[in-house]
Amino acid sequence: MTKTRIATITTQPARVPTCIPHFRPSRLAMVFWLLPLGLSAAGCDVILHIGSVANRDRGIGGGRLDGGSSDGMAETNSGTGGSFVPVVHPLPNRHPAFTSTSKLDLLFMIDDSSSMTPLQEKLRTHLTDFMNVLKSLPGGLPDLHVAVVSSSLGAGKFGDVPGCMPGTAGNVNGSFQHSAACTQLMPGNSFLVSAKDGAGGRVENFTGGDLTAVLSCIANLGENGCGFEHQFESTRLALQRSLLSGDENAGFLRSDAYLGVVMLTDEDDCSVPADSDLFDPSMQTLADPYGGLQSYRCNEFGHKCDQPLPHTVAGLPMTLTGCTSKEDGRLVTVSGFVDFLFSLKASPEKIFVAAIAGPATPYTVGRYSFMLGNGSTEAQPRIEHSCTSGVAGTEYADPGVRIQQLTQAFGPNSFFASICEADLTNTMESLAQQMVGP
């Protein structure tokens, strides 16, 4: 089995951001962005990371705000490609070990596309292993904010791609997920808070049990989300919205806290600019420039390898080597997303990024028969799973090329593991140990 990506992203109205801690955009970009809004940089911790002036009106509704922030940087972004010159970040130093007085804003990005239910269940089962490491810190749990966001952000400029339509689980616009079924979370809250009260207890915004149980409930997203996952852009949008006064995500990010991002996904990131036409549902066959309306589009137009990625099925299957993110602007660049995350903190070691995903290798393209909109079938390229597990291979993942590339940018403050491990006990314990420091 494989997931067929049928999705739709819509351009959401741009929300006006205020300040993000510790980031300075280019002076020119700041002037062009602030003046029309009647805003001033005075009094702001820092202005929102907005990239080049040309992109300032993309807003945060799935658009790109991904770099070119230093003076002299150049960038062009469009749904048909472009170029991007990222800020160059050296690998950060290892952050100091956490204690109970440390502040940690922890965001789980959970893929909710087809086939993810058993993989989400594995995560939820082993959240206890993860939280036990945090509870074992000197003095107990740190000062925590914990939130969950899905990978569903639609499919570019198209609002009619099945499974990804606006107003459905296929496009949640970066909202923190907090199901009404999780009754322990107090009304009006979209993320979990657990902090010391100074008298030996804790101040919490949930009732009736341990934080782990409430988080497990919130993390049960199911698999009705968009098949074109936007792991990077959903995370970016959720974090940006958390800095907007009055937004339902507001208050999650704290300027004096560490930021931890943990991604659980069985496919690679396929984030696109909000005006992208990559998921044009009228293109379904190999005679069309984008080929079939399925996940392979993200590989063909988002990755580059030592060998050209095939558009047809001639010579398939074939195994490709040296595959990385294409970074040409067709998909949101990995470098841009890295730049965005670094822009959130004055100290780069205060950011931790982890992923439990498909190994980047092997990277094999096979051929499979796909149903077209007119009822006929056609043999098309499809990426093979890079790992499998479960009964008869019912749990699987595709090569997480861009996902792994993301984690590598954070050096010692990062973690990557295969989602196909039969038992995530060691994975979750190791992830938490790496996060809390030596």
pLDDT at 87: 64
Distance CA 259, CA 280 (A): 35
CB under 8 Å to 365, separation ≥6 — which residues? 296, 299, 309, 310, 316, 317, 318, 319, 320, 381, 382, 383, 384
Q: Which residues of 374-397 are buried (b: 16+ CB within 10 A; e: fewer)?
A: eeeebebbbbbbbbebeeeeebbb
Radius of gyration (C-alpha) of the chain in whole angstroms:
21
Split the chain (438 residues) into runs of 10 and give each run's mean pLDDT.
38 34 29 30 30 28 31 30 59 93 97 94 95 94 97 94 93 93 90 89 88 94 95 98 96 97 98 96 96 96 97 97 96 96 95 98 97 91 95 89 97 97 95 94
- Predicted pLDDT of residue 85: 56
How crowded is the C-beta side of 384, counted as CA atoms within 13 Å?
Answer: 14
Contact assessment for residue 9 and residue 172, using Cβ atoms and an 8 Å cutoff: no
- List the CATH code of the domain at 1-73+102-438: 3.40.50.410
Q: What is the pTM of this model?
A: 0.82
pLDDT at 183: 86
Q: What is the pLDDT of residue 197?
A: 86
Q: How many angstroms separate the CA atoms of 326 and 332, rounded?
A: 10
| pLDDT value of position 7 | 33
Domain assignments of the chain as residue spans, ordered by start: 1-73+102-438
pLDDT at 86: 58
C-beta of residue 161 within 8 angstroms of C-beta of residue 7: yes
The CA distance from 77 to 221, in Å, is 32
The pLDDT of residue 392: 72
The answer to whether the beta carbons of residues 308 and 46 sit under 8 Å apart is: no
- State the pLDDT at residue 211: 93
End-to-end CA, the chain: 41
Q: What is the pLDDT of residue 180?
A: 85
> Could you tell me what percentage of the chain is helix, strand and coil, using 3-state DSSP and rounding each to the nearest 5?
25, 20, 55
Per-residue confidence (pLDDT) for residue 50, from 0 to 100: 27
